[in-house]
Amino acid sequence: MTPLSFAQLVSAVDGRQHPHGECPNVTFHSVQLDSRKCREGDLFWAVRGENEDGHHFIADAFQRGAVAAVVSQPLQQSLPQIIVDDTITALGAFGNWYRRRQSGLVIGVTGSVGKTTTRNMIHTVLSGHYRGVQSPQNFNNQFGVPLSLLSMSEEDEFAVIEVGASAPGEVAQLGKIAEHEVAVITSIAEAHLSGFGSLERTLESKCELIDTLSESGFVVLNGDDPRLLEYSETLEKPFYLCGFGPQNHFRIEAVEMTADGMNFQINGQQLHLPVCGRHFLNAAAIAVAIASELGMEVEEVQSGFSSFTPGSGRCAATEIGPWTVIDDTYNASPRSMHAACRLLSEWPDSSASRILVVGDMLELGESAVAYHRHLGHTIAESDIDFLIAHGDFAKTVAAAASHAGMPGHQIAVCPSFEIMEVLLDCWLQPGDVLLAKGSRAMKMERTLDILTELAELQNNQSNRTARKAA
């Protein structure tokens, strides 16, 4: 963030200066919403969240080095402060004010699934030629989007901003703040249905990002998504379709799973990604489309792909003891569950047993039972050897898998992680591959903790056996 003055901030948020004196001669170089992260020279922004009110932590922020605070109620202390009617609205206004003073290209990314992977892929590829930033972690809401914009500097040539939503109108609000010049929509899928109500409303809400696109901007869509494909026929702005089908401007072909990732082609150009999972390739094609529009060469694109790593809990493959573990625990929806089943069934080591550990998919509203039943059918139809289901819908998934033909002795319902540990200890053999996935609140990453504990136990037993033999 470019250092700014107190006076500039007052102007940006249309706020009132602190009531204890003249405008102080201070500058700040970073905005913090968490007082614990405040350092010397920071500005503390007091917001009211679901669980905490930042106004209760202003003293802590100043003690840690904050030079000023933005508040919605005047402080009694004689401290540099700006008073606004609503600190959340003011944060959005400030983010937009700051964004307008940056020359870098702003790329907005939204969609039901795949936002973070696509945002990360675009940033990794473009960084091979240009200097830029991306939203940190999953900063994609009314707090995260302004803070992401504030991470830009005058030297940055682009910023990839993730835009999330769980209800209609939220994407439009965030799009107006970001004023992006490229709009990316990754998918329209069964996520946050309890907030959107239907896939039709989901489509309308995600396409709000296009409604807020700058006049000279262009659109990049997943052309394999039938709803986005149909929507593209109504677009008056320039657009690119990306995916596997022949209708796409940037088409993925000749996919080959390898021990170190995937070989594939996009429009005849041979490329490689050091990760497994076909769902990564839609993000790759979107990144290629944007890079091509910006004049990058295929060698530069491949250089970016070579350095790509998935985010934590997003199909990251690792070795735990004698097993290969695919950590896909960050979140889950029906579409991403289907992608996980395909990834596991296509795993290149044909000699390994494939074990799928699934938790509930949440926020599916009245369709939850039907979607979990469909998941069970998908698992049974995939080349998966063992299923462990955990959560309130575990019996639904297991029953559907059994009904679709998966042998009963290969299916287990685990009401607790303790029972799961006992079962995995019985089922796992050296060389097996296990994929764990579920919605964020299911905490399926605990499966990895179980595997780590089992690996340590086996290693200790092996050491004791070796010492006895000696």
Residues 6+ apart with CB under 8 A from 74: 18, 19, 81, 83
Lowest mean pLDDT among 221-230, 280-289, 456-465: 456-465
Residue of 235 and 2 predicted with greater confidence: 235
Residue of 315 and 410 predicted with greater confidence: 410
Percent of the chain having pLDDT more than 70? Answer: 94
Residue of 232 and 29 predicted with greater confidence: 232
Domain edges within the chain: 4-84, 102-306, 316-461
Tokens of 3: 């250092």
Q: How far apart are CA 75 and CA 340, in angstroms?
A: 52
Tokens of 220: 């990049």
DSSP string, 204-218: HHHTHHHHT--TT-E
- pLDDT band at residue 88, thresholds of 50, 70 and 90? very high
Which is it for strands 316-320 and 411-413: parallel, antiparallel or unpaired?
A: unpaired
DSSP string, 404-458: TT--GGGEEE-SSHHHHHHHHHHH--TT-EEEEE--GGG-TTHHHHHHHHHHHHH
When pLDDT is averaged across residues 48-74 and rounded to a whole number, the result is: 90
Decide: residue 68, CB within 10 A, 0-12 exposed, 13-18 middle, 19+ buried: buried
Percent of the chain having pLDDT more than 90? Answer: 71
Architecture of domain 316-461: Alpha-Beta Complex (3.90)
Kindly report, residue by residue over 96-137, the tens digit of the pLDDT: 999 999 999 999 999 988 899 999 999 999 999 999 999 998
CB 171 within 8 A of CB 110: yes
- pLDDT at position 238 is 96
- pLDDT at position 81 is 86
- pLDDT band at residue 431, thresholds of 50, 70 and 90? very high
- Do 102-306 and 316-461 come out as alike in CATH topology? no
Residue of 460 and 442 predicted with greater confidence: 442
Domain 102-306 of CATH type 3.30.420.40 = no
Q: How far apart are CA 256 and CA 263, in angstroms?
A: 5
Architecture of domain 4-84: 3-Layer(aba) Sandwich (3.40)
pTM here is 0.84
